[in-house]
Structure 1
Amino acid sequence: MIYDLVIYNGVVVTASDILPPSIYIGINNGVIETMTTQPLKGKKEIDCEGAYITPGGIDSHVHLDQDNAPTGDDFDSGSKSAIAGGTTTILPFAIQPKKEKNITAVVQDYHKRANKKGGSYCDYGFHLIISEPNEEMLTEEFPEIIAQEGITSVKVYTTYPRYKLTDNQLLNVLLANRKLGVTTMIHAENSDIIDFINEQLQKKNLTDPFYHSISRPLVAEEEASYRVIALAKLIDVPILIVHMSSKTAMDHVRKAQTDNIPIYSETCPQYLFLTADYLKPSCIHHLDPHDHFEGAKYICSPPLRQEQSELDAIWDNINNGTVTVFSSDHAPTTYDDPEGKKAGIINGIPHYKSIPNGLPGIETRIPLLFCFGVETQRISPQKFVELTSTNAAKLYGLTNKGTIGVGFDGDITIWYPKNRINFKLTNAMLNHSIDYTPYEGMQFTNWPRYTILRGEVVYDRDNSGVIGSKSGQYLKRHASSLRGPLHDINSIFK
C-alpha cells in the first residue's frame, strides 16, 4: 500500500509514551491510518533522522483581529505564525461587546474575520467571550450556538470595565455551563484592588510602563482565583483559570485539585521567562537604550512578576501537574504605532493605563518550552506534549486532535536532531505582523523543522518556511473530556 505521507526514523512522543525510531507512521486522507514497525511506502516520505516527533500544537488562548487591537495580527498573519511555530490548531475568541445581546451575530462576524483574507493556514475554532449574560441568551440562544457552531467554551472576566462580570453574573454563567457541558475559562484578577492602586499611582503621577506591574499585584490574582474557585464549588462545575502567574494563586488551584475538585489552570511563556525588570527603562534587554518607553512592549495582564521565585514556582507547578495547559495568550499590538503600544504616550508623557495589553507569542510558544524545558531536561517530553497539545484537545473537545495515534488527524511537528541548530532569535525570523518579539536575543537550540497539518507539510524550515496554502478548517467541538464526575448529585443546580 502507498500512503500519502510516511514519517519514519524519529522518536514519537505522546503525553504518556515515548516510542522508538523503529515506528513508521502512515497517513492517508489527512488521518493517521497506521503505526507499525514494518517499513511503509509513501508518495512523500520524511526521514526524521532520529529527531523527536510530537503532535501538532494546539494553542487554546489566542486573540486575533480584535477591535481593541487595531494593529494586531489577523487570521492571515496569526495563523501563518502559528504554523511556523509548530502549532496546527488555534482557538481565538469571538467577543460579545457590552450592550450586544445577539451572540449569534458575534459568532458570524468572527467567521467573516477568519475568512476575509482567504482563510487560515491552520485549523481553528472559537471560544466565546461573554460580557452581557442574560437568561434568554444563556438558556435559549447559547444552546443553539453549541449545536450549530460546536462552540463548547466561554471566557469570562473579573476585571476590565468592558468585560467584567459580577459574582452573581458569574454564578449564572457557571450554572448554564454546567447544564450545557461547556468549559468555562476565567480571567481572575480583583478589579477593585487594581482600581484602588491605579488611583494612588495616578495621584503621584507614577505612570511609566513599569507601574503597570505595580498596579496589578500578586494579591489581586490570588484573591480572585480563590473567589472563582469558591463560586465553582458552589455550582459544582469545572473551571479553567487562564494565564496564571502567581505561586499563591496556583496554591489555591492545587489545594482544590487535591480535594478532588475539577479546577484547571493555564499558564503562558511570559510567566516562565520574563520578569517585571523588562518594563524598566534601564533593562539591558531593550534594543534602544535611548527609548525609555520600550518597557511598554512587555505590558500584559496579569503582569510580569517582580521576583524570579514566582517564575520558578510556575515551573514547579508545571512539573507537579497543577498546570493543565500551556498557551500563548497571543494578544499583540505593534510597538511603533500611534494605535499600538505608543497609544500610551499622551502629550509626550507615558500612561501605562492607555498602553494596549498583550504580547506576541503564537510562534515562539512551543519552541520556548521545547528548548528550555525538554532540551534542558527541566520537563519530560511527555509533559511537553501534554501541556502543548493533548490536554488542550481534551479540555476543549477536539476529539481528533492532540496525540499521535491511529484514527487521529495527521497533525504532527517534527524537530531537528539534537545539536543540529543553535541561533539567537530576532523578530525578523518570525511570521507575525508585529514589529517586536519579547524573546529577542534568546538562544534557541531547536525549532520545528516540519509542521504537518492533516498529512500535508505546511512548514518546511529548511525550504522556504511556510509552504502550505490556507487550508485550515473551522472545527466544531465536543464537550470537554476532562470534566470528570459532578460531585453534588443532589444539588439544586443540576
Structure 2
Amino acid sequence: MKKWIRGGTVVTAADTYQADVLVQDGQVIAIGQDLDVQGAEVIDASGCYVLPGGIDPHTHLDMPFGGTVTADDFFTGTRAAAFGGTTSIIDFCLTKKGESLRSAIAAWHEKARGKAVIDYGFHLMIAEANDQVLDELESVVTAEGITSLKVFMAYKNVFQADDETLFKTLIRARELGALVQVHAENGDVIDYLTKKALAEGNTDPIYHALTRPPEAEGEATGRAIALTALADAQLYVVHVSCAAAVQRIAEAREKGWNIYGETCPQYLALDISCLEKPDFEGAKYVWSPPLREQWNQDVLWNALKGGILQTVGSDQCSFNFNGQKELGRGDFTRIPNGGPLIEDRMAIVYSEGVRQGRISLNQFVDVCSTKVAKLFGMFPRKGTIAVGSDADIVIFDPDAKRTISAKTHHMNVDYNPFEGKEVYGEVVSVLSRGSYVVRDRQFVGQPGTGQFVKRNSFTRP
C-alpha cells in the first residue's frame, strides 16, 4: 500500500525543504507537491522533520564478553534502535584464531535470524592474518557483502592483534576495496598500567579510566594511521574519545590520506567524573576507551562540525548493573566494558548538537546517517531520502522535550547512562522499507522483518 507522508519538512545531509514523500513497495517513489496519492495511507508529518533513518555503524548485540553476554540481543537492541530513530545497524562479528571467517559469520547470522526488526549488516573482526584468512577475505567481501574489517589494538590476550596483522589486513583491504577499522588504544601499555594499579590496591571503577590514558589512544591512532599510509589503504578509527586522537586524524586528513573517524554520544555528553560516583555506581560508565576530561567534548564537537570526524556510532554494548557490572566489585578489570547507548544516540546528537548550535541540522543527518551509508557501501540505497532509495524514514518532532530514563527506555537493561538528562526531539514514527516499526510512539514492528544488507566495496565519499 502507498504511504503519503505529508506536511513535513524533509531534511537530508544537503537540503532542508517542504515537501511530501510518497512511498510504495519499500521505496520512495516521489517527492514534491501535488503527488498522485490516490489510495495512499496518509501520514501527517505537520510540524515535524522527515528524516532518513539513522544508521548506527557501531553495535555489539548478543555478544559474549568478560564471562557474560550483552543484555540486548538482536530483537531488543534493534527495537530500541528504532525508538531512537535508527533504521539500520552494523554489528561487529567476532572471530577466533584458528576458525574460519565463514563460521563466525554464520554464527552472527544465527544471532540475528528471526529477531531483528530493522535492517543490519556486519563488520568482521580480524584476529589473525595468515594465508587462510587473507584468502578467505575475498569471498567475504565480494560474495557476503561484508566490506569492513575490524582490528583491535587493545584488550591484550583477548582481542588484541599485533601490528603485522593490522598491516597485512590493510594491504588486503586495499586490494579488495574494504574499509579497515581499528580500536585504537595501546593494549601493551594499558596492560602494564592495569597490573600496576591492581598491585597497588587501586580497584575502583575510576582506575579503568586512569589506566587507559588519552596518550595511549593518541599513540595507537597515530600508529594505525602510519601503517595505513604505508599500505596506501583506508582506515576508520572507531569511538574516538579525546583530543590526542582527533589531532592525529586531522593531521592525516590534511595530507589527503584516506583516514576517517567516529565518535560516540557518551564522549560528547559525559565525562570522567561519572566513574567516580560512589557505591560502585561508576561501573555503569565503564567502557573503552574511557570517558575523558570534559574539555575534550568541545574538541569532538568541533571535529564533527569541521569534518575531521565523519560519523557518530553508539558503541552499544549493554550490561545490566545488577549481576553483570557487579562482577567487577573489588577489581575494575572484571567490570564488563560497555553501555546501553543505541536508543539515545540520535537524541544526544540532535539535542546537544543542533539545539545548542554546535552543528547544523543537515550535519546531524550527515553524521548519524548519510556519511555512514557512504563510508560503508550503503548509499544511496540508505542514508538519504531520494526517489529509488529505501523508504527508511523517521518522523521527528524537533520541539518535544523529554527526560531520558531507564524507566521509559526500550533497551533490555536496568540503567541508562544519561539518566535524568532533558533533551529536545522525539521520534514519532519510523518506517523501515516502508513498513511501520514505530507508529505514533508505539512499537508495531515484527521480529525477523529486518534484512541483512550486503554492502558495496569502499569508495571515498
Residue 142 of structure 2 is aligned to residue 147 of structure 1? yes
2:56 to 55, 59, 63: 59
What's 1:17 paired with? 15
Residue 318 of structure 2 is aligned to residue 332 of structure 1? yes
Superposed counterparts of 1:277-288, under 5 Å? 277-282=273-278
What's 2:107 paired with? 109
What's 2:425 paired with? 446
Residue 305 of structure 2 is aligned to residue 319 of structure 1? yes
Distance 2:84 2:308 in 1: 25
Three-state SS of the structure 2 residue aligned to 1:264 is: strand
1:431-487 deviations in Å (ceiling 9; x for gaps): 11111110110002221111111111210244xx2112131111111112326xxxx
What's 1:45 paired with? 42
What's 1:409 paired with? 390
1:178-230 deviations in Å (ceiling 9; x for gaps): 10000101000011221221122112100100111100001000100110000
1:366-409 deviations in Å (ceiling 9; x for gaps): 11111221223221011001100001101110131000111100
Three-state SS of the structure 1 residue aligned to 2:29 is: strand
Distance 2:151 2:347 in 1: 29
Three-state SS of the structure 2 residue aligned to 1:423 is: strand
Distance 1:205 1:461 in 2: 52
Residue 276 of structure 2 is aligned to residue 299 of structure 1? no
Distance 2:154 2:402 in 1: 39
What's 1:214 paired with? 210
Distance 1:154 1:390 in 2: 20
1:70-89 deviations in Å (ceiling 9; x for gaps): 24211111111111111000
1:1-37 deviations in Å (ceiling 9; x for gaps): xx61111211111111111x2x111111010111122
1:457 to 419, 425, 436: 436
Quote the sequence identity (%).
37
How far has the Cα of 1:43 moved from its partner? 2.5
What's 1:490 paired with? none
Distance 2:286 2:384 in 1: 34
Check conservation: 2:429, 2:438, Cα contact below 8 A: yes
Distance 2:95 2:70 in 1: 20
1:472 to 427, 439, 450: 450
Check conservation: 1:101, 1:137, Cα contact below 8 A: no
Q: What's the TM-score, normalizing by structure 2?
A: 0.96
Three-state SS of the structure 2 residue aligned to 1:58 is: strand
Residue 106 of structure 2 is aligned to residue 129 of structure 1? no
Distance 2:98 2:27 in 1: 40
1:343 to 324, 327, 340: 327
Check conservation: 2:272, 2:294, Cα contact below 8 A: no
Three-state SS of the structure 2 residue aligned to 1:404 is: coil
Distance 1:351 1:461 in 2: 45
- What one-letter code is carried by the residue in structure 2 that aligns with 1:16? A
Check conservation: 1:209, 1:293, Cα contact below 8 A: yes
In structure 1, stretches of 5+ residues that fail to align are: 283-291, 484-494
In structure 2, stretches of 5+ residues that fail to align are: none
How far has the Cα of 1:39 moved from its partner? 4.1
- What one-letter code is carried by the residue in structure 1 that aligns with 2:453? L
What's 1:86 paired with? 85
What's 1:431 paired with? 410
Three-state SS of the structure 2 residue aligned to 1:452 is: strand
- What one-letter code is carried by the residue in structure 1 that aligns with 2:299? A
2:272 to 255, 267, 276: 276
How far has the Cα of 1:253 moved from its partner? 0.5
Q: What's the TM-score, normalizing by structure 1?
A: 0.90
Distance 1:164 1:246 in 2: 21
Q: Which shifted more, 190-199 or 294-303? A: 190-199
Distance 1:469 1:76 in 2: 9
Superposed counterparts of 1:92-103, under 5 Å? 92-97=91-96, 99-103=97-101
1:239 to 223, 228, 235: 235
- What one-letter code is carried by the residue in structure 2 that aligns with 1:394? K
Distance 1:445 1:66 in 2: 32
Check conservation: 2:63, 2:70, Cα contact below 8 A: no
1:226-264 deviations in Å (ceiling 9; x for gaps): 100000000011100100011121011111111111100
Residue 363 of structure 2 is aligned to residue 383 of structure 1? yes
Distance 2:126 2:116 in 1: 24
Distance 1:191 1:137 in 2: 23
Coordinate RMSD, CA, aligned = 1.3
CA separation of 1:14/1:71 partners in 2, compared to 1, >3 Å: closer, same or farther? Answer: closer
- What one-letter code is carried by the residue in structure 1 that aligns with 2:75? D
How far has the Cα of 1:417 moved from its partner? 5.0
How far has the Cα of 1:132 moved from its partner? 2.2
Residue 374 of structure 2 is aligned to residue 397 of structure 1? no
How far has the Cα of 1:164 moved from its partner? 1.1
What's 1:489 paired with? none
- What one-letter code is carried by the residue in structure 2 that aligns with 1:149? E
Three-state SS of the structure 2 residue aligned to 1:422 is: strand
Check conservation: 2:84, 2:343, Cα contact below 8 A: yes
